[in-house]
Structure 1
Amino acid sequence: MAPPAPQSQLAARRSKLLRLIAIIILALIVLVGLVVLIIWLVVKPKGLAYDIENGSIHGFSLSDNHLNATFDFVLRAYNPNRKVAIYYDSMQVSVAYDDQTVASNGVQPFFQRHRNVTRLEVQLVAQSLLLSGPVSKDLQRERSSGKVELEVRVKARIRFKVGTWKSKHRTLRVFCLPVVHFSSHKDFGRTKCEIDL
C-alpha cells in the first residue's frame, strides 16, 4: 500500500490544529462564564435605590419671564448590597420644569459603604433665569395653585468596589418627578426615582 500523499497529511494536521484551537476557545468561554457566575453568586448584586425625601422652594419670584428661586431637596441614596461599595467620583444635580433646566449644582465626591443610606442635602439656585414664554406662563399658573411638578435629574460618575477590586467608571443617571408645595406647612410625599445605569 502506497504512503498517503503529503497534501492529505497536511490537511489532516490542519484539521487537528483547528479542532484543538476550537476546543481551547470553547474551554476559555466556559471558564470565563463559570468565573462570572461564581462572582455573581458570591456578590449577589442588587439595584441601587434613590428617593427624594423632602423638597421645598424659597424666594420664588417670576417677572418678565425671569425666574429667581432656591430649590432645596433631600436626596436619599440607598446601597442595599452586602459586598458592593460605591465611589461617587462626581455628581451633578439639576432641576427642570417643562424640559427647561432652571438650576443645577455639583455634589462633593463621596464613598458609600455597603448596606448604607446616604442623604444628600442639595440646594439649587435659579438667579434671573430667562424662561421661554410658554414655560413662564405654565410655571406662574402652577405657582397660583400652590404646588409645582419638577424634574430632578442626577448624573454621576461612579465606580463599584468589591473587596480590593474596583470597576471602571460608569455613568449613573437618576430621574425624579417630585411635586413641591410652595407653602412650607404642606407635607412632602417621598418620591421614588428611576435609575439608568
Structure 2
Amino acid sequence: MTKECGYHDDHRRQLLRRALAALLGFIFLILLVIFLIWIILRPTKPRFVLEDATVYAFNLSSTGDTPSAAAPTPNTLTLTMQVTLSAFNPNNRIGIYYTKLDAYASYRGQQVSLATALPPTYQGHRDTAVWSPFLYGAAVPVSPFMLEILRQDKTSGGVLVNVKVNGRVKWKVGTWVSGRYHIYVNCPAYIRLAGDRDDAALGVAGPAVKFQLFQNCVVDV
C-alpha cells in the first residue's frame, strides 16, 4: 500500500510539472507573438500640428467693484477663433480611426471655450487628416486673478492659448481593429494682443487676425 501511494504521489507531481511547463510555454509563446507583432509593425502615435489660428475676439472684461449689497460679478472672457489642425499617421502598416474628438481652447489652465466636436475620420498608412474647427466662448467666467495676468501678458505683447483635443482612437491592422484608446493633444498658440489701454476690456477686438503657427503639439495615447 505504501509503495502504491508513493507511485501515485510521484505521478501527480509529474503531471503538475508538465502542466506548469505547458502553461509557462503558452505564456512565453503569447509574449513572443506580441513582441514579434510590435517589432514588425512598430506602432507610433500620430503627430499633430497646429498650422494656424484666426482670432476674431479675445477679450477679458472686468466689471470693477460692485456695491457691498450686491453679489460680486466675475470677470468674463469672450473668445472666438478658428484653428487648423493636421494629424499625420507615421505608421506603414497601421491605420487609425478617430472615433470621437473634441477640441477646445484653454488659457492659463482654464477652459475658455465650448468643446467643438471634430468629424470621425479614418487615417490610412502615412496619411494626413486636417480639421478646421471654430472655438467659441461667450462671456466665460474666469478666476479673479485672470485680469492681472492678462495685463501682464498684454505688456509682454501676447498670450499663450492652448488648443486641446480629447477623444478616442482605434488602431487597424489588416481587418483587425483594436479597442478604443484615449488620445490627448495639447497645442500651444502664441497670440499677439491688440487694443487700447482700457484695462476693463483687454485683448483682441475688431477685424480677424490670422496667425501662421505651424506649432508641433504634444500627443499622449
Settle same-fold status: TM greater than 0.5.
yes
- Deviation, structure 1 residue 46: 2.3
Give 1:181's aligned residue: 192
2:179 is the alignment partner of 1:171: no
- Deviation, structure 1 residue 30: 2.1
Give 1:14's aligned residue: 12
Cα deviations across residues 116-144 of structure 1 (Å, max 9, x unaligned)? 11111121111011111211332244245
- Of residues 44-53 and 123-132 in structure 1, the stretch that sits farther from structure 2 once superposed is 44-53
Contact (CA 8 Å) 1:152, 1:177: kept in 2 or not?
yes
2:110 is the alignment partner of 1:100: yes
Which residues in structure 2 correspond to 1:116-195 (within 5 Å)?
116-143=127-154, 145-182=156-193, 188-195=212-219
Which of these residues, 72, 78, 83, is aligned with residue 68 of structure 1? 78
- Deviation, structure 1 residue 23: 1.3
**Counterparts of 2:153 and 2:122 in 1: how far apart (Å)?**
38
What amino acid is the match of 2:162?
E
Which of these residues, 72, 75, 84, is aligned with residue 94 of structure 2? 84
Cα deviations across residues 44-69 of structure 1 (Å, max 9, x unaligned)? 22232112111232123322222222
Q: Which structure would you say has the larger RCO, counting Cα contacts within 8 Å and 6 or more residues apart?
A: 2
**Counterparts of 2:128 and 2:159 in 1: how far apart (Å)?**
27
In structure 2, relative to structure 1, the CA distance for the partners of 1:139 and 1:56 (3 Å cut) is farther
In structure 2, relative to structure 1, the CA distance for the partners of 1:69 and 1:43 (3 Å cut) is same
Give 2:68's aligned residue: none
**Counterparts of 1:61 and 1:194 in 2: how far apart (Å)?**
27
**Counterparts of 2:22 and 2:220 in 1: how far apart (Å)?**
37
**Counterparts of 1:169 and 1:189 in 2: how far apart (Å)?**
31
Q: What RMSD over aligned residues (CA atoms) do the two structures have, in Å?
A: 2.1
In structure 2, relative to structure 1, the CA distance for the partners of 1:185 and 1:100 (3 Å cut) is closer
**Counterparts of 1:107 and 1:89 in 2: how far apart (Å)?**
9
Q: Figure out how many residues of one structure are paired with residues of the other and give that number.
A: 195
Contact (CA 8 Å) 1:57, 1:181: kept in 2 or not?
no
**Counterparts of 1:13 and 1:24 in 2: how far apart (Å)?**
16
Contact (CA 8 Å) 2:56, 2:209: kept in 1 or not?
no
Q: Normalising by structure 2, what TM-score?
A: 0.80
SS in 2 for 1:22: helix
Give unmatched runs, 5+ long, in structure 2.
Answer: 63-74, 195-207
Contact (CA 8 Å) 1:85, 1:112: kept in 2 or not?
yes
Give 2:31's aligned residue: 33
Give unmatched runs, 5+ long, in structure 1.
Answer: none
Contact (CA 8 Å) 1:57, 1:182: kept in 2 or not?
no
